[in-house]
A and B are shown apart, each in its own frame.
Chain A
Amino acid sequence: MAPGDSRFAVDVSLDPDPVIEVYKKDVDRTLIRENLKLTPDERLVQLMRLQEFAEELRAAGRRTLGR
């Protein structure tokens, strides 16, 4: 096996996949367009805020359900 080869490496086409095309119809492109206006740093900061919000929601759920 040549250097850099790997049992995990697989060549995959980037041609349109009919299954993915179906999923693509539901992608919210308005979010993508807004994100593309941000820098990578800003996108990760936004992600951390989303993580905090998700954790707050989980905590609220635990408090409400008592578990």
Chain B
Amino acid sequence: MTDFPALLGALSGAGVEYIVVGGAAATAHGSARLTLDLDVVYRRTPDNVARVAESVARHHPYLRGAPPGLPFHWDAETIRHGLNFTLVTDIGAIDFLGEIAGGGSYDALLPDTYPLTLFGVECRCLTLERLIQVKRAAGRVKDLEAIAELEAIAEERRR
């Protein structure tokens, strides 16, 4: 199980600048679909990359789905050399995304976020409209049902 309070607490505790996107953001907006990880877009500044590295370091991060024993070191240098990381940790699965298809970077997405307090942790979450837009732009067949639900949520909110 992904421990959302613990993951959000770890991010907040390290002072990470991030935006909640993906399935967890959809859940926060009212989606009833099952998602197994926390997707966040992180800011790619040197200071924030260091904070991202620190945030889950003590929770034994490892590449999700990779065979055990790979020489994977979760640190700022690794993050600088990569962009998007799908990790499993002791407190659940988390995707650290430098950019997302159809949405871009942290700075590009930031205007379309709103402050949200989850389990006492203040974070920023992608707006419902932007979440729909991002998923539409990604153009993945597997997202069609999710997009339909998100648009239905938007319609229900307007009722």
Contacts and interface: CB of A to CB of B under 8 A. Distances in A.
Interface in A5-37: 5-12, 14, 17, 19-21, 23-24, 26-29, 31-33, 35-36
| Residues of B in contact with A, size category | 35 or more
Contacts of B35: 47
B28 interface: yes
B94 interface: no
Contacts of A9: 102-105, 108
A12 to B, nearest CB: 4
A27 to B, nearest CB: 4
A9 to B, nearest CB: 3
Contact of B34 (A14, A19, A28, A54): A54
Contacts of B157: 36
A40 B104 CA distance: 25
B116 A17 contact: no
A8 B107 contact: no
A27 B148 contact: yes
Nearest to B116: A40
B129 interface: yes
Contacts of A29: 152, 156
B85 interface: no
Nearest to A23: B148
A53 to B, nearest CB: 9
Contact of B1 (A7, A23, A52): A52
B128 to A, nearest CB: 10
B119 interface: yes
B85 to A, nearest CB: 16
Given A10-B102, A35-B31, A51 B1 contact: yes
A44 B152 contact: no
Contacts of B103: 6, 8-9
Interface stretch (B11-19, B51-59, B70-78, B130-138): B130-138
Interface of A: 3-12, 14, 17, 19-21, 23-24, 26-29, 31-33, 35-36, 38, 40-41, 43-44, 47-48, 50-52, 54-55
